[in-house]
Structure 1
Amino acid sequence: MEEVERDFSKELDVAVRIVHLACALCQRVQRSLKPTNADQVKSKDDDSLVTVADYSVQAVVSWILSESFGSESVSIVAEEDAQMLAKSELLQPVVETVNASLLEAPRFGLKLLGIPLGLNQVIEAIGRCNSSGGPKGRHWVLDPVDGTLGFVRGNQYAVALALIDEGRVVLGVLGCPNYPVKKGLVNHHHQVTSENSSASPDMWEKGCVMYAMRGTGKAWMQPLVYGDLKVDSFKHARSIQVSTIEDPSLSTFCEPVEKANTSHSFTEGVAHTVGLRKKPLRVYSMVKYAAIARGDAEIYMRFARAGYKEKIWDHAAGVLIVQEAGGVVTDAGGRPLDFSRGIYLEGLDRGIIACSGAVLHEKIIGAVDVSWECSLL
């Protein structure tokens, strides 16, 4: 007998509101951001970037989830480290940004007590996101700013929040502040950014939140909220679906922009083997999953270089949204991604393949097998 899915409507409602609020926070920070501004951007030990927005979103999400569901029962898996922030010059700007955002929470239907927060409370909120997940219980999974380099450059980035219940992703919310609301503009401007686009400004309405709950067979999209997020806002969301294209020669495929942790040469080989003709759509962050879910692209291929381990917060929300929109996501061996084994996607076979449908997915998996024999990955 098929297992009956639990209802996570309350959790989804809160999560969507939180992501709208977090996107508003990110937009304010991004407008004032310069790549060379040492007061806003720092490097972490692994040379990746961290900004005021990364820490601020994590603190805001942590605080609101704890207020909404009880700090004792909320388990959060997230990227940023509280101890690093405590020693950083970013601490004071983060506290100011967090409090400015929390003061706006009622506009998004989120009622909060005990604000403004002090330095120690902000550090505590970030430090509360220290869960390692696992197969038992419920765990929120957060990437506060996925694609920080894209964020710093004024390009694509995402706020990603998911919920894992007993090892399965049961809801996913993906905020994409710079992603065009209207379909077609992604292909109109290949790099998916408003800069230098010949589209008229009124066409380029950007910023949306996509979300899905497991087992519903539906994924939804709302434009970013700039007024009040009313109780009935979900009624005005529109459903999104993957593309119906099955011919590889007509398909658009996505891959990461950066070469540091992925192999463009291998995906190029797979593309040649399967007959993909279009140039790849190289996009920062989980916006690639958004492109698949909404039908702007058909294929996402990611093959990490040796030694790199995929983290669950980089995929959980996007994978579920693509699946509920009608797509297929597996590793390169055709197996479902396993989010139950901690902060990493352990046991991953070579890479990750997301497709708009089973026919394309089967063709890509076959092309990977052929290309793998002559690769150096």
Structure 2
Amino acid sequence: MDSPYKHELGVVFEVIQVATAISRTVLQSLLPDDAGSAANPEFASLQASLQVLKDDNTFVTAADLAIQAVLLRVLNFSFPTHRLVAEESASQLLASPALLSVVTSLAVAHSRANPFVWAHGGSDLAAHIIPLFNTAAAPQPPAVTPLDPTWVIDPIDGTAAFMRGEHYGINVAHLCGSRQILSVVSLPLLAPGPTTGPITDADTTPSSGGTILFAVRGHGAHQRLSPSLSRPLPRHADALPLAALSSVTCHGTLESAYDTLHAAVAARLDIAFPGTNLLGWVPRWAALALGLGNTTVWVYRRRDRYAKVWDHAGAMLLFEEVGGMVTDVDGKDLDLSRGRLLSGNFGFVAAPRSVHHHVLAAVKTVLQEQGRADLLANNDKI
């Protein structure tokens, strides 16, 4: 695919391969093997060194941290004037010299194995980990200009699923202001080539080479099959019947989700529910791009709950580039210019462009029927 972002894509393709390899190395250490290593004290000690509990009661693993270190270093080396935004802070590394040592060793060893990455910052990566983490975790300006280039990174989306050996995604997005320009997503446990849905988190193929998807705005979404070969992902029909809607969601897992509403919207639209059921948002957006489903609705239980930019930036572009439309529950475009949280938006409604308005109307109707008009914007309330 020819595009004005060929250089940026080339850099990300190299470094995301290293990120994928790091995730596989750590995953093999986190999961017990057939020899019963889960009962081995040494195995338990290794697990403890590779995963820690964060202040928000979620886990972060050595894979998240090592991947973020490599991605930040190569992107900063290659594009030194661009902003960086990433999920993880340096707090766990600063609190645990042992964890910092494990993360540094992982990042350096895998960087050394890739000549491009080693030459593009990998050779002095260890000295930059803490400063780059601090930069990428800093509060972002309240607004950015349309020309401000930014890289947004989610080193592992779906960490809880990753720790169980289920589907997870590695997300790299390039923005100019709030505009998504480029997306590269790695799905290490999804077999390459055509896939049929629905799938769940546990429907993995660990022995496969994984799948890399990418998109550049205005140039479609593609699946990378080799360094010299990719295939365009099929676009949704311009006039899709409502009967062709199919769901991609996460159901019965997250306390923040309004699960009963999601099920009621699906019933109103006569969509099988939950359909393709994936925990991580990045795998969900990828599933929508791959045609494993074509619709997702996400409403939080509270109006003051906001999505995190790294879960969606770039990955949404994959779906948009195959004919999908993404808004919030109020029908507004997603504003990615507000920093680390999508504080100008509430929830998500995504569907093929030709039927998006039907899905959005169903969401608003069900919210009214369930007595939750408080979750609608003021101008939508009766």
What TM-score bracket applies, with the shorter chain setting the length?
Answer: 0.7 to 0.9
Q: CA deviation at 1:115?
A: 1.9
Aligned to 1:253: 247
The CA distance in 1 between the partners of 2:180 and 2:168, in whole Å, is 21
> Which of 295, 299, 310 lines up with 1:299 in the alignment?
295
Let me know the Cα RMSD of the aligned residues.
2.4
1:40-79 per-position Cα deviation (integer Å, ceiling 9, x unaligned) = 1111000011000111111101111122123xx1310111
Shift, 1:190, TM fit: 4.4
Which of 188, 205, 211 matches 2:214?
211
- SS of the counterpart of 1:180? coil
Structure-1 separation of matches of 2:194 and 2:209: 11
Give distance in 2, aligned partners of 1:296 and 1:114.
36
Give the SS at the match of 1:80: coil
2:255 matches 1:241: no
Question: Residue 300 of structure 2 aligns to a residue in which SS?
Answer: coil
Corresponding residue for 1:103?
Answer: 112
Give aligned-pair identity as a percent.
Answer: 27
1:142 to 153, 156, 181: 153
- Return the offset for 1:242: 4.0
Relative to structure 2, which stretch is displaced further, 47-56 or 97-106?
Answer: 97-106
Quick one: which of 118, 122, 136 aligns to 2:129? Answer: 122
| Helix, strand or coil at the partner of 1:115 | helix
* Secondary structure at the counterpart of residue 188 of structure 2: strand
Shift of 1:117: 4.1
Please tell me whether the aligned partners of residues 79 and 142 of structure 1 are also in contact (alpha carbons under 8 angstroms). Answer: yes
Matches within 5 A, 1:132-211: 132=140, 134-136=143-145, 137-187=148-198, 189-191=199-201, 193-194=203-204, 205=208, 207-211=210-214
Structure 1 residues 113 and 166, CA gap change in structure 2 (3 angstroms): closer
Q: Does the CA-based 8 Å contact 1:33-1:40 persist in structure 2?
A: yes
TM-score (norm 1): 0.85
Deviation at residue 82 of structure 1 after TM alignment: 1.1
Residue pair 2:248, 2:274 contacting (<8 A) in 1 also: no
> What is residue 3 of structure 1 aligned with on the other side?
none
Q: Superposed, which structure 2 residues align to 1:50-61 within 5 Å?
A: 50-61=60-71
User: Residue 163 of structure 1 contacts residue 170 of structure 1 at CA under 8 Å; is this kept in 2?
Assistant: yes
In 2, Cα distance between the equivalents of 1:259 and 1:94? 28
Amino acid at match of 2:294: E
C-alpha deviation, 1:194, in angstroms: 2.7
Given that 2:88 and 2:137 are in contact with CA atoms closer than 8 Å, whether structure 1 keeps it comes out as no
Unaligned ranges ≥5, structure 1: 1-5, 196-200, 226-232
State the shift of 1:130 in Å. Answer: 3.1
Q: 1: CA distance between counterparts of 2:240 and 2:88?
A: 40
**What amino acid does structure 2 have at the position aligned with 1:291?**
A
The 1:299/1:206 distance shift into structure 2, 3 A limit, reads farther
- Aligned match of 1:77 in 78, 85, 97? 85
- 1:345 partner amino acid: L
Quote the offset at 1:14 in angstroms. Answer: 1.2
Q: Is the 8 A contact 1:253 1:299 kept in 2?
A: yes
What is the aligned residue count?
348
Q: Which has the higher helix share?
A: 2
Which residue of structure 2 aligns with residue 369 of structure 1? 364
Deviation, structure 1 residue 9: 2.6
Q: Hey, what's the Cα distance between the residues in 2 that align with 1:22 and 1:252?
A: 31
TM-score in terms of structure 2 length: 0.84
Q: Deviations over 1:262-303 (max 9, x none)?
A: 122110011111111354321021111111111111112221
1:106-136 Cα deviation digits (max 9, x unpaired): 2x67633562544x53222322313526422
Per-residue CA distance 1:337-359 (angstroms, 9 max, x = gap): 1111211112214x20122x223
Which residue of structure 1 lines up, in the alignment, with residue 330 of structure 2? 333
Aligned position for 1:272: 267
Query: Are the counterparts in 2 of residues 183 and 296 from structure 1 also a CA contact under 8 Å?
Result: no
Aligned to 2:223: 221
Q: CA deviation at 1:191?
A: 4.3
Show the counterpart of 1:62.
72
Q: Which has the higher contact order (CA 8 A, sep 6+)?
A: 1
In structure 2, the residue matched to 1:28 is 25
Distance 1:194 1:113 in 2: 33
Give the 3-state SS of the residue equivalent to 1:139 in structure 2. strand
The CA distance in 2 between the partners of 1:288 and 1:266, in whole Å, is 19
Conserved in 1, the CA contact under 8 Å of 2:182 and 2:215? Answer: yes
Q: Could you give the per-residue CA deviations for residues 149-169 of structure 1, whole angstroms, max 9, x where no partner exists?
A: 011010011111111113211
Whole-angstrom distance in 2 between the partners of 1:237 and 1:51: 31
